[in-house]
Structure 1
């Protein structure tokens, strides 16, 4: 991150220097301190947002929601983290438990900080629109949007780990070997005729083309004059101008780049690399999206189990309510009653 002194807020470092965060996770460097800071920041942010949710009912509900909302995220993480770790191990990834935990904590930290950023908006509607159904849907939408942004960070971090060979090291190594440049072939020498001069006898005063001036006879004296003849000798064949490492038989004028190849890449080095071209997705990345769905289902069911977070003003205070129905049916019923 730019600057002489790092920011005390871990969320500011995540947003400003996310590449530095990913490289720290790749190097497995000081992850205990980083994870501890993210855990503390997430718990405080979720507690503040939970207090806003509970204030719709009573100050006592605000206190319990401030405790239960961080618990919701941390228990969901504890349930789903072993699955993510084992998924990666099964498909050859080299992630440690600390790296997996730090990667998921980045997503939770972004989610919690974005949710607490929406807390003033939620509080505004709490004061100006005393509608329990609308307030519940509003905050469910805020949490869903915050979670989508956090999961976006999670997939971006996993992509960086994939680029560094931590998700599919064997496939990355095979691909690197396949794209290695070929050894240039040697250009063989070939037999070409060379022209040399051999002295022969010609008449004196005769021209080189064999005609005598003033009608002189050809045998009126003889002098030696060089006449070209051909002998066979071995000299290197003349080949077109080639670049260093260019295979034999391939010729391009100097300075010319074949269309479709960047300026720093020679056409014989392999398939052209185009900007924005997607790389091969390993099995770990596919399983990550499955794990995200699993995390969402576990989180919503656990939220339904730990309810109430908002607290219906028409009912008395209760720390927990009986488990009946499910989260999705309740959301659909709330939308229908608006």
Structure 2
């Protein structure tokens, strides 16, 4: 595999030079001005053929008008027949569902997959980013995380497109991203419990610096307000999308004289923790406590009782991420986000309050 060739665009106009050093130009600025993606700018700079002729001409005209040039012209590289999938941590069944979807799609296209753990959100991406660039894949799928503008540009400069799958933040509108309709999922889950007769409904959110967590909480609040139930912030506890977190948060919610009759856990792993808390406290599900999850991972239907949950089409989202990535390589995908609808799966973990 040949090594990647970094692309920088520099100004040749004397008025924009500082002590003889060419000024580095932001690919995103040019892309924004022209209304195209940063990856498209990079393709033109790298003389790639998969760009519409009209777009290529507009990009070249803009670069020429600005007096920009590409250093090390003439050096080209071929991408490896690989797709990189970058997780913060691959330690749960949600990640397994993602990989099942990715593998399903790449197998049909005879492509390889490389899985990388980037570490906790907020950490430095340098190590894994260097590795991705060295592999020079067809593209990268960034799972439940975000990239800084500088890191996005760095990948784009090497002609490596990216798709954000379930991004943690609010990505640039021009970024390629796929997410589930988290707000509607939270609304539907809470409405279900209200329809059953529950009025004191606890919620265990994910980390509140993640947009999916905020959206699911907003859906919960919308359903509560729709039913004219006073919002009680003490019934809202921030979790970490892990089983142990669900256990500890559920104990807090249930260790009160006016304990909730239902808990909406904002992912299935935390719902498993709620089940364990109920077992420890000798509460029966659903007779004493109704539980709703979110994701519908494989194990949700196998819990005792089977878990009522919001079905997030994780595999379908992963398949679409691969297709979107390859469409970007071919210049067929317009930048922007895609929101996939959720559905609601009623199983045995919910019932009317005090049902026997």
Same fold (TM over 0.5): no
Higher helix proportion: 1
Higher relative contact order (CA 8 A, sep 6+): 1
Higher strand proportion: 2
Task: Compute the TM-score of the two structures, normalised by the length of structure 2.
Answer: 0.25
Task: Compute the TM-score of the two structures, normalised by the length of structure 1.
Answer: 0.26
